[in-house]
Structure formats: C-alpha cells, structure tokens
Amino acid sequence: MLRYRLEGSGPPLLLIHGWGVTYAIWQNLAPLLKPHFQVIMVELPGLGGSSDVIVQEPYYQGCAEAIEEVRQELGIEKWAMLAYSTGTRAAEAYIKRYPQSVSHAIFLCPTYILEIWAVFLRLLDAPHSPSLMQWVFSDWRLHSLVRTFGFNGQRHDYTYAWKNEIEIQPLDILVRSLCEMPGQGRTPFSVPSVPTLFIWGGRDALIARPRHLGPQDVVIPANHSAPMLAAPAVAEVVIPYVLEGRIVTVGKTRSKILRRSLRLNRGQKKVRFMKNRRILSFREKQTPQRRRFSLQKRKSSLQTQQRRFRKNY
C-alpha cells in the first residue's frame, strides 16, 4: 500500500509527485487547493514511506496498480489527478489501465524531455557498477543535477532540500523511474478519452514543450520547479479546470500579482521587511558625498518651511 495523506474537503483530487521526491513537494500548492478539494497526496512505490514494487514488474505498471489500491481503500468512485514531472508517466499508466476512475487529468511539467537529456538516460540505462551509480547520485553531483534540471541553474534553498530528499531514496528506484519511462522520456503521451490538460513551464530547461500549442496546452511562467516556485499560477489553472472544465491562462504580470498576494497572506511583517530591505539597499549604494548632499537638501527644505510658517503667523 502506498503511503498517502489527506487534506481539505470537496471533490477528490489525487496529487502525484515527481522523480525522487515525496509528497513534501506539494507544501506550497496543497494549501491553495485544499479549500476546493479533498487533496490526496501519495508517495510512489519505493519512495518515502511506500513499499517497493515487484522487481520483475514494470515500474510504472506497478505504480498504476498501487494507485488503484489507494482509490479502493478510500472508497472513491472517481477522482481527478494532478501529476508532476515523472509522476505524469505514472498517471498516464493509471489512466490507460483505469480510465473509468478518472474525471480529469492534469499533467504539470510532463516528462517529454529534450533529446539531449534522453542521451543521458540511454547512458544511464547501460550496465554500470552500483558504486558508480551511487557516486553519480550523491553529494555535489546530485545537487548539480537538481539545480540544472529543476531550477535552470539558479541558486535556491529548495535545491538543497530536494537534493537531501532524493539522496536518501533507494538507488534502484531512482534509476528505474528514469530509465523505464516510455521511450526513456521521448514517447509522446497517449491518454484515453479522459479530459486532459497539459501545463508547461515556459522556462523549463528539461522538457520539450510543443512548438504549436493545442487547445489542451497551457504555458505558465515557470521552470521545472513549478509546484514550489509557481504554486499560485498552477492553482489558478488547476482549480477552474477540475471544477468547471474551464481553461485559463496565466501571464507574467498576473503571475507576479499572485506571488505578491501569496507573500501578503503569509504576513505583513515579511512584506514590510522586504520593503525596508530595498530602502536599506538603496542607502548602502549611496556614496558619503551623496548622503551629505541629501541631508543638506532636506535640512534646507525644512528651514524654508519654517520661515514660511513664521511669515504667515
């Protein structure tokens, strides 16, 4: 049985995480979804607190069967699915096997990878010693992979959080979940007649986004870390699609407003701190001569106001 967590109330929405991480990936997105849905977060086989799949069984087929066990355990007749990264391949396998159990499917940063990264997977799939594989997926090398593919090479605290979480997962599961993707991540998605939406990151360095978008494709201003760094934009697309079947788009300006709103909700003190930090940063950039000039200018202005006050009264 997969480890799972329930939050919120409403129509059931299953969240499926991506490569090497657990349902902690939803820490920024789940709070935005649970007022509208009963959010069901699972951990895929062999990851986190979930038991492994049978070695002889294809990994993603095992994922599909394990997810179905959760649905039956919870007594859910039909649910919507939001899958992220390699989790989209688990969702694809599930929908092919149990299409009657899915009302809507949303694939976030779906793993149809660029050809250059598929070469890496082909090399990874060749026979290697366990010690070499352990060396590749550890320390600064793993952190570099996370930072490159997940965050476009940018520094962020989340890169270390992801690296630390991935590093403790079973090595064979990490390799299988990559190498057993259909066509090693280069096979186009094939989903039965279930309402499906693809959410692509406009700055995703890992994924080969379609050149010509279809009616079921939405692009948001995000890289491959969208569940963490672009959670408000993701929620704005997911909620109306699952509840109403309505597709909305999120532009750069709207995304900035959503991120600022999220900061406001987390507390006005943080916003004031950011504002004060900008003021301090401006003052630090001033030269001593410039600061003296500014002080003299303010002093002169104050003296002028005082003279006008005495003259009038």
20 and 47 assigned to the same domain: yes
Tell me the mean pLDDT in the region 119-143.
Answer: 88
Across the chain, mean pLDDT equals 85
Choose the most confident range, by mean pLDDT, from 72-76, 120-124, 173-177: 72-76
Are residue 189 and residue 95 in the same domain, yes or no?
yes
Q: Are residues 274 and 255 in the same domain?
A: no
Q: Are residues 178 and 304 in the same domain?
A: no
Do 82 and 220 lie in one domain? The reply is yes
Q: Which one is predicted more confidently, 300 or 202?
A: 202
Give 255's pLDDT tier (boundaries 50, 70, 90). Answer: very low
156 and 275 assigned to the same domain: no
Question: pTM to 2 decimals?
Answer: 0.79
Provide the domain count of the chain.
Answer: 2
Distance CA 120, CA 144 (A): 14
CATH number of the domain enclosing 179: 3.40.50.1820
298 with 151, same domain?
Answer: no
Over residues 34-69, the pLDDT tens digits come to 999 999 999 999 999 998 877 778 999 999 999 999
| Pair 162, 290 in one domain | no
Domain of 70 in residue numbering reads as 4-265
Is residue 284's pLDDT more than 70? no
My answer on whether 287 and 254 are in the same domain is: no
Residues 90 and 59 in one domain: yes
Of 247, 265, 283, the residue at which a domain comes to its end is: 265
For 203-216, write each residue's pLDDT tens digit.
999 999 998 999 99
Judgement on whether residues 138 and 252 belong to the same structural domain of the protein: yes
Whether residues 127 and 207 share a domain: the answer is yes
pLDDT over threshold 70, residue 103:
yes
